[in-house]
Structure formats: C-alpha cells, structure tokens
Amino acid sequence: MSIGYACLAVGVKDAGFKSCTMKNADTERLTEITEHNLRTLENIIEFNAANNIKLFRITSGLVPFGSSPVNNLPWHEMFEGRFLEIGKKIKDSGMRVSMHPGQYTVLNSPNDDVVKRAVEDLDYHCLVLDSLKAGQECKIVLHVGGVYDNRKSALERFVRNYMRLKENVKNRLVIENDDRMYSIEEVLETGIALNIPVVYDNLHNAANPCGSQSDDFWISQCNKTWKAADGKQKIHYSQQDPSRKKGSHSEFIRVKEFMNFYGQVKGENLDIMLEVKDKNLSCVKCINCTSERNINILEKEWGRYKYAVLEKSPSLYQEIRHLLKDKEKYPVVEFYELIEGAMTEEMNKGHAINAAQHVWGYFKNTATQKEKDEFSKLVSDFMRSESDLLKIKRMLFKLSFKYGESYLLDSYYFLF
C-alpha cells in the first residue's frame, strides 16, 4: 500500500513549475522552461524519496506544449540524459509515478481533429514515462470523454479509437470514472471489454453515482481489471470541500474520515492517489497515520505546524504540546485532528500577532535597527487594518532566509 499526491509539492524549495503562452513559445523559451521543469521534477522526486513517499503523479505541464505543434523541439533527445538521471532516482527510491491528461484530452470525440490531438497527447505522456524508463506499472489515467447524446455509440467510439493507439501507450492506459458523464459501472464495462485496468475515484462516484454500492464494492470490482504486469491496483481518493460546490477537492484530508475509509479497504493491496489542495502535506499525514512509526515523526511534523497552529489557537497549541509529552506513545490520529481543529478556526488578530512575535523572537537580537523598525511598523499597520498578515509573514520568511533559520524555512506557518 502506497499513498501519493499529484503534480505539485507545497513548501518545498525550488519546486515550482514554469509555463509560457503560445505566442511566447519560441525555441529558446521552451528549452529553458523544459530544463527548469526537469530540475523541479528532480527536486520533488528527491523530496518524495526523503519523506518515504512512494507514489507520485507527474504534471502534464512538464514539457510545455509537449504534444502541440507549437513545440517541435526533439526534447526527449535534447534532455535524454536528464530523463535517465531522474528516472534512476525514481526507480532507486522504489517510487511509482503516473500521469493524468486533463479533461480536454478526449479520445472518443466525433471530431476527428480532436481525436488526433488526443492521440498525440497520449503519445506525449507516454514518451515522458518512456524517457524516464518507467515500467509498465507507471500508468496514464484517462477519462472516457463525452456523451454526444448517445452513450452507446460514444463508448463504441472510445473502443475503436483506443485501437488506434500505439502498443506502448495501450500498455500504460487506464480509465477512470468521472463526476458527470461516465459512472464507475460504465467505465468498468469498457475496461473489461478492452482488457484495461480501471481506476476508481470515490468523490467522482459520490457526484455521479450508480446505485448505492459502497466504495469497497467498486474497488473490489475494479481489482479484477488489474493484471500482474499493471502493478498494484490504483484508486483516487479525495474529500468534498465543505464550503465549495459539489465535487470540489478539500483543502486538506480530514484524518478521521480518511481512517474510516482506510479501515474498509486496508485488506486490499492498493495504491491510493490523494487529490487534495495541500498535496504533500496531507500525503505525509496519511502515511504517518497508516504505518508503524514513532513519536519522533510527530515531533518533526509538530515543528513544521506549530506556528500555524499557534496563530489560530493558543489553546490547541498547548493541548498538542501535552499530547506529545509521553515519548512512549504514538497518538498520530489525535495529533492531526487537533491540528485540523486549529486550521479551521477563524483568524483572530491577537493570536496572529502573538504567533508573529514568537517567530520574530528568532531575530529580535540579531536584526538590524532598520529591520526592527520595519517589523514594528508592519505589526501596527496590521493591527489598524492597514495591511494584511501576508506582509508580516513575507518579511519573517525573508529574515529566516537571510539569517539561515532552517527550522523556520521548513515551517508551514508561511503557507497558510
């Protein structure tokens, strides 16, 4: 069982991808961005390896306009060596990677130009994985596509167009239920007919259900479509954002809800891809909650969360400190539940200033007079509602960098 996250890592140094617009996509810019994005991918892979994360989705934007005539660079030859280096790091750490073309890659369209672009886009995704020398268990996840007023012929067209794909693309392609068009039942029928694996997505099934079967039921149905060469069965797991419309991914994984789900499926041998806004943060959380670890892990996590908690709730901050006192225990679920409680608190100016002062404590003796003046001005501006908290945090982050406070540089305080 591995738990992973998609595309981006938050709070990781030098881990931002770049892109460009079509009209700026000249050879020089495309080369530079590809080079940059490969370095970014490598940094994220190294972060994953260091944090015991064994499942990761690579962003489709890795090579800008990778499947468009706008980009006619032989990028996989130009960067062959870089792909091999990164691919080796992936393999050496035991990581499984995947890719997932977006909603605009539609293989079953009645418009043949659209289909042609979809085929080219799948070729591109496959070439990225091939260039990394990723095994056949590293999949490309695709939705079935549109309905066009006739589900039966639309599904038949998917089957026909699938046959047009190259063998190495076919070997990686898996299909997923979506939140509007094709329910898990229809995707399963298609997967069985084509003999390709099916990825079950729990939130899509909640938005676009068929019958009232449990997640566990559909997961075991999908399990039958995964052959040995395809690797472990994969599913997508996400939770509804309570304040946004149906189908929106939550900011973070609510640990209690996740553990309830996990209790039902832990007997299966699954890889779980999380789709969640805070990415690696919830991923680390879920890994910590489902594996045998010790309190050192929680103390490390606490070091990163503590000021983010303090600025929302001093009382929960104290409660967590007490929870971590007993070094023989590993109260992981309680720990994260308390953090979640703090993160959902409304912002309170007094608490926010208090936390900012705690962080300022790292610098107040070493800071220059100019920095001291600037900090107190930002604080009083914030109290008078003349500026926002972001400005204070931005300054504190800069100081952390300048004075080499690596403990603070890793803090999630600067992310929220």
Partner DNA sequence: CACCGTCAAGTCGCA
Partner DNA sequence: TGCGACTTGACGGTG
Q: Is 250 near DNA (CB under 7 A)?
A: no
Q: Which of 152, 245, 322, 325 contacts DNA by CB under 7 A?
A: 245
Residues 324-363 that bind DNA (CB under 7 A): none
Closer residue to DNA, CB minimum distance, 101 or 197: 101
8 A C-beta contact, residue 262 and residue 290 = yes
Three-state SS at 304: helix
Q: How far, in Å, CA of 14 to CA of 44, rounded?
A: 9
Out of 66, 87, 101, 145, name the contact with DNA by CB under 7 A: 145
- Burial label, 182 (beta-carbon count in 10 A; 0-12, 13-18, 19+): buried
Residue 59 or 288: the one with the smaller Cβ distance to DNA is 59
The distance of closest approach from Cβ of residue 375 to DNA in the complex, given in angstroms and rounded to an integer, is 15
Count the alpha carbons within 13 Å of 146 in the hemisphere toward its beta carbon: 13
Count CB-CB contacts under 10 A for residue 411.
21
Residue of the chain from 1, 147, 210, 324 that contacts DNA (CB under 7 A) = 147
Least gap, CB of 158 to DNA (angstroms)? 11
DSSP state of 361: T
Please tell me whether residue 66 binds DNA under the rule CB under 7 A: no
Nearer to DNA, 37 or 48 (CB): 37
Q: Output the CA–CA distances (angstroms, integers) from residue 128 to 66, 109, 121, 273, 360, in the order listed.
A: 9, 24, 11, 20, 45
x/- track of binding to DNA for residues 21-60 (CB under 7 A): xxxx------------------------------------
Applying CB under 7 A, which part among 12-20, 133-141, 187-195, 334-342 lies near DNA? 12-20
Q: Residues 6 or more apart from 135 whose CB is under 8 A from it?
A: 231
Q: How far apart are CA 222 and CA 233, in angstroms?
A: 8
Q: CB nearer to DNA: give 8 or 194.
A: 8
Best CA proximity match to 5, nearest among 80, 82, 98: 98
Task: With both helix axes pointing from N to C terminus, report the angle between 255-265 and 280-290 in degrees, rounded to the nearest 10.
Answer: 50
Among 209, 231, 247, 303, binds DNA (CB under 7 A): 247
Q: Which amino acid is at 130?
A: D
If we measure between CA atoms, which residue out of 208, 209, 236, 235 comes closest to residue 223? 235
Backbone angles phi, psi at 79, to 5 degrees: -115, 25
Q: Determine the interface stretch with DNA among 143-151, 225-233, 295-303, 349-357 (rule: CB under 7 A).
A: 143-151
Distance CA 99, CA 83 (A): 15
Residues 208-227 that bind DNA (CB under 7 A): none
Q: Which is nearer to DNA, 103 or 365 (CB)?
A: 103
Minimum separation from the CB atom of position 87 to DNA (A): 23
Per-state percent for the chain, helix, strand, coil, to nearest 5: 55, 10, 40
Q: How far apart are CA 73 and CA 147, in angstroms?
A: 35
Least CB distance to DNA at residue 18 (A): 4
Kindly identify the residues of this chain, within the stretch 364-403, that bind DNA according to CB under 7 A. Answer: 391, 394
Binding characters for DNA, 255-294, by CB under 7 A (x = yes) = ----------------------x-----------------
Which of the ranges 139-147, 255-263, 320-328, 376-384 carries the binding residues for DNA, by CB under 7 A?
139-147
Minimal distance in Å, beta carbon 104 to DNA? Answer: 3
Is residue 102 within the footprint of DNA (CB under 7 A)? yes
Using CB under 7 A as the binding rule, whether residue 416 contacts DNA is answered as no
Which helix (H) or strand (E) is 167 found in, with range?
A: helix 167-172
x-or-dash pattern for DNA, window 164-203, by CB under 7 A? ----------------xx----------------------
What number of other Cβ atoms are within 10 A of residue 347's Cβ? 10
Applying CB under 7 A, the residues found at the interface with DNA are 8, 16-24, 68, 102-106, 109-111, 113-114, 117, 145-148, 180-181, 245, 247-249, 277, 391, 394
